[in-house]
Amino acid sequence: DTAVSQTPKYLVTQMGNDKSIKCEQNLGHDTMYWYKQDSKKFLKIMFSYNNKELIINETVPNRFSPKSPDKAHLNLHINSLELGDSAVYFCASSSAGDTQYFGPGTRLTVL
């Protein structure tokens, strides 16, 4: 069974569009995260949520809005997509302070 899953796996869209990426974990964790890995392969944290409450927000543009409907889900909505948003986005989850487990990633390409 997949522990941390993301949909879609690939997302190709035009500049200016709005898109969402979904993440679900079945590990019973209370904390979830979004990371961005750019073309230079650096993996950077964007957000973390603990029990549906925003804990970390790493100066990400406000076009990015995470939404956590419940502890098992953390979705990422992106408005007015720009070329620089092209990257691989990874979701992760953990019990607070414990090891983080990552999803398979969503490759976003903005044309």
- Which positions lie near other proteins, rule CB under 8 A? 4, 31, 33, 41-45, 48, 50, 55-56, 58, 88, 90, 92, 94, 96-105
Shortest separation between residue 37's beta carbon and other proteins, angstroms: 9
In angstroms, give the least distance from the CB of 36 to other proteins: 11
Residue 54 in tokens = 């925003």
Under 8 Å between Cβ of 110 and 83: yes
State the nearest-atom distance from the C-beta of 80 to other proteins, in Å. 27
Of 14 and 99, the one with the shorter C-beta distance to other proteins is 99
Closest to other proteins by CB, 48 vs 75, is 48
Whichever of 26 and 79 has its CB closer to other proteins, that residue is: 26
Q: Which is nearer to other proteins, 81 or 90 (CB)?
A: 90
Q: Which residues contact 2 (CB under 8 A, 6 or more apart)?
A: 26
Shortest distance (Å) from residue 34 CB to other proteins: 12
3-state secondary structure 41-63: CCEEEEEEEECCEEEEECCCCCC
Closest among 51, 59, 48 to 91, alpha carbons compared: 48
10 beta partners? 107
| Six token digits for residue 46 | 């964007």
